[in-house]
A and B are shown apart, each in its own frame.
Chain A
Amino acid sequence: MEKEKFELFEEVLRRLEGAGILKEIMVAGSWNVHLYNSYFGKDAAKIPPIRTLDVDFLIPHPKKIASKQSIPLLLKDLGYLTDYRGEAGFIRLIHPDLIIEFLVPEKGRGTDDKPVPLQGLGVNASAMRFMDVLYENKITIRYKGIKVSIAHPAALAIHYLLIYPRRKNRKKAEKNLMHALAILNLLVSKRKQDEMRFVFLKLHSKWKKEVLELLDEKGDHEIAGILKV
């Protein structure tokens, strides 16, 4: 199942790249951790592996998407089905090996829990807070020859720290926290403190305070100290 999951993920990326969609979106969430193999090399093994069937794609600028190709049709012959969840009809593409969901940054006062349509792509997206931390700090890597935009590791870690107290699913929140601390400690060991600070300093002051308080609460004073400077 693991092997099929990764092979399917690669094929999904290839098809999105071929359709010109991949350059307008980025991988969000824990699948970034899998892609950090390309960033950290063999040191990536120090980050706990992902065990999720869900991959989230973030569309930073949904109104500016140039592509007009239906993603459900693009992936149909791989066995993907379109699933409508909840009363509001949030779309996700389901497959026994890998589920795909779409996210957009939450703007203003939010969307009242309604999906944001992405008509050109034939899907809709959930609007989430703190997504700007990810797309304002994106990097591009090559994964099996495919150019993919992902969040800088420091950005993903800080994003996880910000959502930690807000996640309803506490088990997922704890997993995210574990990844966040592992990533930040790996960045320190690779002497990338400046990159961590660069991401942190761009945050709203209220968010900075939240991140530092959480790090202190979890006993990671070293990381908190590095970010404070």
Chain B
Amino acid sequence: MAAIKAVLREELGSAEIMKAEYVKALKGLLKGALVRKVIKGRDYWYLAYRKDKKIIFQYLGRLPEEKIKEYGEARKLRAKYRNLLSHLKERIKYLKGVLRGKREI
């Protein structure tokens, strides 16, 4: 039993380090989502993001293709990282429960 607990403790440590890395990675991503407005046939871009309980629309103007793509990729990565972070939090909760004896392996 001690050997199993040692393995689980190691896994818990590893999961907590990984959780911190994903939190850091999320903070490093471009914030918000791009919103497009078409005026007289031209695209103008706004960045929509949350600040406290409000949603802010920040005017960015006309953007090069690469920048639009960058925001799109950041949005996909954000969804991915949040999903993985959620799994990690579940795993940490489970491992802590098992180590406290409140859950079965």
Q: Judge if B48 is at the interface, Cβ distance under 8 Å.
A: no
Check B80 against A77 for contact (C-beta < 8 Å).
yes
Q: Judge if A79 is at the interface, Cβ distance under 8 Å.
A: yes
Identify the interface centre among A1, A53, A81: most chain B CB within 10 Å of its CB: A81
Q: Which DSSP category, helix, strand, loop or mixed, fits chain B's interface? A: helix
Stretch of B15-23, B54-62, B96-104 lying at the A interface: B15-23
Complex Cα spacing A128 to B83, Å: 35
Q: How many residues of B contact A (CB 8 A)?
A: 19
Q: Judge if B38 is at the interface, Cβ distance under 8 Å.
A: no
Q: Judge if A108 is at the interface, Cβ distance under 8 Å.
A: no
- Given A81-B21, A83-B21, A96-B91, is A76 in contact with B6 using a C-beta cutoff of 8 Å? no
Within 8 A of A (CB), among B32-49: none
Q: Contact check: which of B6, B77, B87 meets A96 at CB < 8 Å?
A: B87
New A-B pairs, 18, CB < 8 Å, besides A1-B91, A96-B88: A53-B14, A76-B77, A77-B73, A77-B76, A77-B80, A78-B80, A79-B77, A79-B80, A79-B81, A79-B83, A79-B84, A81-B21, A81-B25, A94-B18, A94-B21, A96-B87, A171-B3, A171-B7
